[in-house]
Amino acid sequence: MRIATWNVNSITARLPRLLAWLESSGTDVLCLQEAKIAEAQFPFDQLRELGYEAAVNATGRWNGVAVISRVGLDDVVKGLPGGPDYEGVEEPRAVSATCGPVRVWSVYVPNGREVGHPHYAYKLQWFEALKAAVAGDAGGSRPFAVLGDYNVAPTDDDVYDVAVFEGLTHVTPAERAALAELRGTGLSDVVPRPLKYAHPYTYWDYRQLGFPKNRGMRIDLVYGNEPFSKAVKDAYVDREERKGKGASDHAPVVVDLDV
């Protein structure tokens, strides 16, 4: 079983690449972030033609997440139970579903913007709610994983130059502590490091030749419980999908399971 996570940075802009990638990669379940589209405009028909169904939590031009599956889609939960609002709005940042033998969450953690900004406090509150929401499944006997764009680099080795990020979000002790507390529910990072290259980044800014110069960050993560982690046979970042015209600024992270 092949499960992936990918921040596509607008499914409208990336749809031809998304459909081609699903076919070529043989992915069974894709957790997608930054759909940037209302659910009514989501490309259900195009995905159905390839044998996929989708659970979508999306409301418009910002945020939006989905679970896309060709192995079943049951017990869908849209939104983060107990999650905080931001400026009175419950943002579409989480959706969960059972896909065959595995239960997954697709999450798009708030960016935080800058330290001290209300969005940064919201980010930490969102992590607290995520920890509470997944704790039961994290400690369970069924393979379970939380996949997505966490907007946190777990260690200094997960950014191309930590000095560049001094005082900025994504690397602060509070954000990394929130990640550690999430892992404390019974989850672990299932993507090995290093992979086939020294720094398995997943995101490269469009600006200043970020990708050609490999000025990246590893912020797209797959955190699985013990049954999920034990089933992992391989994992990789599909850097090829970050190349070329019209690419997202994130690459897919792919995990193969024996379940």
pTM assigned to the model: 0.97
d(CA 26, CA 188) in angstroms, rounded, equals 25
Nearest to 152 by CA among 133, 126, 129: 126
Question: What are the residue ranges spanned by the domains of the chain?
Answer: 2-257
Q: What is the mean pLDDT of residues 90-96?
A: 97
Annotated catalytic sites, by residue?
108, 149, 250
Do the annotations mark residue 258 as ligand-binding? no
Query: Rounded distance, CA 155 to CA 192, Å?
Result: 14
Where does the pLDDT of residue 61 fall: very low under 50, low under 70, confident under 90, or very high at 90 and above? confident
- Residue 187 and residue 134 in contact, taking contact as beta carbons nearer than 8 Å: yes
Query: How high is the pLDDT of residue 200?
Result: 85
Q: Annotated binding residue at 128?
A: no
Residue 149 annotated as binding site? yes
Flag whether pLDDT at 174 surpasses 90. yes
The 10s digit of each residue's pLDDT in 222-233 is 999 999 999 999
CATH 3.60.10.10 for domain 2-257:
yes
